[in-house]
Amino acid sequence: MGFLARASAIAALLVSSLGLLSSPGAAADPLASWNEGPAKAAIQAFVKRVSDPGSTDFVAPAQRIAVFDNDGTLWVEQPMYTQLAFALDRVRELAPQHPEWRGTPILRAAIEGDLKTLAAAGAEGLAELVMVTHAGMTPAAFHKIVTDWLATAEHPRFKRKYTDLVYQPMLELLAYLRANGFTTYIVSGGGIEFMRPWTEKVYGILPAQVVGSSIKTKFEMVDGTPTLVRLPAVNFIDDGAGKPVGINQHIGQRPIAAFGNSDGDLEMLQWTTAGAGARFGLIVHHTDAAREYAYDRTSSFGHLDTALDAAAAQNWTVVDMKADWKTIFPPAP
């Protein structure tokens, strides 16, 4: 066989090989970090039902809304919520300027790193801590403080940046849903302005698609410049029963899919799956102490009890992290 003939044959072989690689049967698995099993199958079946124009459960793209909790659903929340770790660092940084803080139990606990007292303080105690450390500045200034902290802060166990400790299977799920016409939102008890500086880069979720707790903000003129100032007062707590309210206020329509991991997500899951038509609810159950953490009914952070029982009654999908996920975090950079 002459040179030109051999070259032609090789070219034909390459084209044929590329055709095989790009054929539907050889397409890459969009949920590659998920083990085959009921959880993965349930996700894929639901997405097919609502995105196939020939399906009786077809949902128009404008109504394909999916909402995700953040802490414990999209990234690590142990041994404490990431925003709490941020607030503790802020307290320790600012404490020398405020000796009076030691007279307040919650602030004294924060200065001393007393997690037991902080956990027992509940939402009100943590709100007090957030108000002291997150207010008295413009949103832009707070954005920079959050961004600078996340650039250097490391998780105490994994010694990686918090934004590296997002769940690879959930990143794939977010991309899979968007590829099938869904709009994805975060609906979290965490601070809305704590999350917005980084969610687009990490999750592909725009700032406008983040719903969270907030403190009050006011407009004022400072030296002739229009300015927004964050105030030490709670505006809205986006947790528990507040999540459906936050969804209604920010999104304006009921989602068709909701993803959470704790009792704080119960009402969001209930409200989402109670709507007409095809609905989907999913709970991430932390069962992997070796690769991440194992916790549920007795945990102070990410407490999962009532919602876990409700999952069986409501036919929600429960992800067993140890059994259903091939990997937890993306590879270290």
Domain boundaries, the chain: 29-78+159-324
- SS3 letters across 274-296: CCCCCCEEEEEECECCCCCCECC
What pTM does this model have? 0.91
What DSSP state is assigned to residue 302? S
Lowest mean pLDDT among 9-23, 79-93, 105-119, 144-158: 9-23
Architecture of domain 29-78+159-324: 3-Layer(aba) Sandwich (3.40)
The closest alpha carbon to 39, from 292, 296, 320, 261, belongs to 320
The closest alpha carbon to 57, from 65, 46, 49, 45, belongs to 49
The closest alpha carbon to 62, from 254, 196, 210, belongs to 254
Provide the pLDDT confidence category of residue 125 given band limits of 50, 70 and 90. confident
Q: Are the C-beta atoms of residues 301 and 268 closer than 8 Å to each other?
A: no
- CA–CA separation, 14 and 16 (whole Å): 5
- Which tops the pLDDT comparison, 124 or 208? 208
- Residue 23, pLDDT > 70, answer no
How many beta carbons lie within 10 A of that of residue 102, not counting itself?
Answer: 12
pLDDT for 26 equals: 54
The closest alpha carbon to 104, from 232, 190, 192, 242, belongs to 232
For residue 159, give the amino acid letter: K
- Residue 12, pLDDT > 50, answer no
- CA–CA separation, 293 and 311 (whole Å): 21
Residues in Cβ contact with 31 at an 8 Å cutoff, skipping those fewer than 6 apart: 40, 43, 44, 169, 172, 173, 176
- Residue 16, pLDDT > 70, answer no
The closest alpha carbon to 260, from 90, 99, 120, 70, belongs to 70
Q: Which residues of 30-58 are buried (b: 16+ CB within 10 A; e: fewer)?
A: ebebbeeeebbebbeebbebbbeeeeeee
The closest alpha carbon to 68, from 262, 198, 201, belongs to 262
